[in-house]
Amino acid sequence: MSYRHTISAGDFWIHEIKKGEHFRIVDLHGNQAVDTLFYNARNYADRYSAQDTIREQRNIYLTTGTRLMSNFGTTLLTITGDTCGRHDTLGGACSNESNMVRYAIEKRHMHACRSIFMKAISTWPGLEKRDIPPNINFFMNVPVTPDGKLTFEDGISEPGKYVEMRAEIDVLCLISNCPQLNNPCNGYNPTPVEVLIWA
Amino acid sequence: MFEETILFEETIRAGASWSHVLKRGTALRITDVEGSANVGALFYNFECTTERYNMPDTLKAQHIARLTKDFVLYSDMGRILCSITGDSAGWHDPLAGCSVAGRDGFLIELEKWGLGPRDLVANINFFSRIDVVSDGRMSYHEGNSKAGSSVELRAEMNVLTILNACSHPLAQHEPKPVHVAVRKVAPPAEDDACRISRPENGRGFILTERYFA
């Protein structure tokens, strides 16, 4: 292994992954939402797009074989392995503001992924708030029903499940390891995940 | 007291793009002239454009994967940009994004307002419907919108509205024209259908009204 790192719940991780390298995220303790964005490392305006990704494969779930597409049609990475089976890209990242809408205005103070993204971009020249589009939620289960409802189901991940992908170009990866306590996306117990990169 | 006065109206030709700052207290009615139109749409807070329509926040606050009357469009800041106050098409697609032509139309209009590629976010496709089955597969639903169908968006903020009349990215047919009309409307009442449609939206209106306090 050329790189190995554990991301605590509520922490961010930002790192370049080179073309051809393999990238694995391991759900160490199970049912942990990993809010993830990717950018073309040479042009951050060319970045992960949830809509382009699901439309091009005609399926709302991400799993083995999914090409993670940019807003300009670039294939950023391809998912090459997945022991969980299904990942979400419609639920986005939690935020202080969306928690106020969804749960109670008094919930503003609670830790949230969008704030973790803000902290991350403040450390990384070249990224601003407008570079935070809708993300991937690895290990999260958000089904859509035929009559157009969106539901948040209990996770289908378990300790040790992982998702693995291959970078098709040099990419920058930004992760917020979700601290949400108001819904079952982390099993009400946010836990660390591990990231691994190898050639 | 609040006479419903049409301020202006015009036609967006098939395949064309359009933009306008829709003022709080006005509403935009979009009409599908010939049937099977599609209107790609993006929305920004005109006063601070880093606040913009947020697809996930809109869907998860209301537990929906479609848009219709009584739902609202959330920004990333917990505020309501627009409410859907009228709809005779019944289903509008928030999932499938835009075609290359649609993206070009968005970019041309965004650049006119000092915005650009980094401001492209997930868009809405008015008048189009995507069916999703239990294994997640998506397909385009033919014939969702009939000639004369309309949708009305009431601006709850001053909203930079970017539209294009390009085909849905999964549709096989040519783009169609739409008609737009902007009129003055009354502010949302205490018993407004969008405000009371679910408790989340009640809080969304409170946060939006606080912004203007």
Let me know if residue B105 belongs to a domain: yes
Residue range of the domain that includes A173: 3-198
pTM attached to this predicted model: 0.96
Q: Is B134's Cβ below 8 Å from some Cβ in A?
A: yes
Task: Provide the phi-psi class of A122: left if phi over 0, else alpha when psi is between -120 and 50, else beta.
Answer: alpha
Let me know if residue B118 belongs to a domain: yes
Rounded-to-integer distance, Cα B124 and Cα B66, Å: 10
3-state DSSP assignment of residue B91: coil
Report CB contact under 8 Å: B137, A58.
yes
Report CB contact under 8 Å: B122, A146.
no
Locate the chain A residue with the closest alpha carbon to B210.
Answer: A105
Let me know if residue B73 belongs to a domain: yes
Overall domain count for chain B: 1
What is the tens place of the pLDDT at every residue in B26-45?
A: 999 999 999 999 999 999 99
How high is the ipTM of this complex?
A: 0.96
Tokens representing residue B112 in the block? 């006119």
Locate the chain A residue with the closest alpha carbon to B68.
Answer: A148
Instruction: Report the residue from B96, B131, B200 with minimal CB separation from A55.
Output: B96
Overall domain count for chain A: 1
Rounded-to-integer distance, Cα B55 and Cα A134, Å: 7
| Cα first-last separation, chain A | 8
What is the tens place of the pLDDT at every residue in B90-140?
A: 999 999 999 999 999 999 999 999 999 999 999 999 999 999 999 999 999
Residue B1 has pLDDT above 50, yes or no: no
In A56-170, DSSP assigns E strands to 67-69, 75-82, 136-138, 161-167
Q: How confident is the model at residue B2 (pLDDT cuts 50, 70, 90)?
A: very low
Among A51, A72, A86, A135, most B C-beta atoms within 10 A, so best to mutate, is A51
Task: Provide the phi-psi class of A147: left if phi over 0, else alpha when psi is between -120 and 50, else beta.
Answer: alpha
Q: Is B174's Cβ below 8 Å from some Cβ in A?
A: no
Report CB contact under 8 Å: B119, A130.
yes
pLDDT in tens, chain A (199 residues): 599 999 999 999 999 999 999 999 999 999 999 999 999 999 999 999 999 999 999 999 999 999 999 999 999 999 999 999 999 999 999 999 999 999 999 999 888 999 999 999 999 999 999 999 999 999 999 999 999 999 888 778 999 999 999 999 999 999 999 988 888 778 788 999 999 999 9
Residue range of the domain that includes B159: 6-211
Rounded-to-integer distance, Cα B47 and Cα B157, Å: 9
A110 Cβ contact partners less than 8 Å away, ≥ 6 residues apart: A96, A99, A179, A180, A181, A182
DSSP annotation string for B21-82: EEPTTEEEEEEESSSS--EEEEEEETTSTTSBB-HHHHHHHHTBSSB-TT-EEEBTTS-EEE
Quote the distance between the C-alpha of residue A194 and its chain's center. 13
Mean pLDDT of B158-172: 98
Let me know if residue B1 belongs to a domain: no
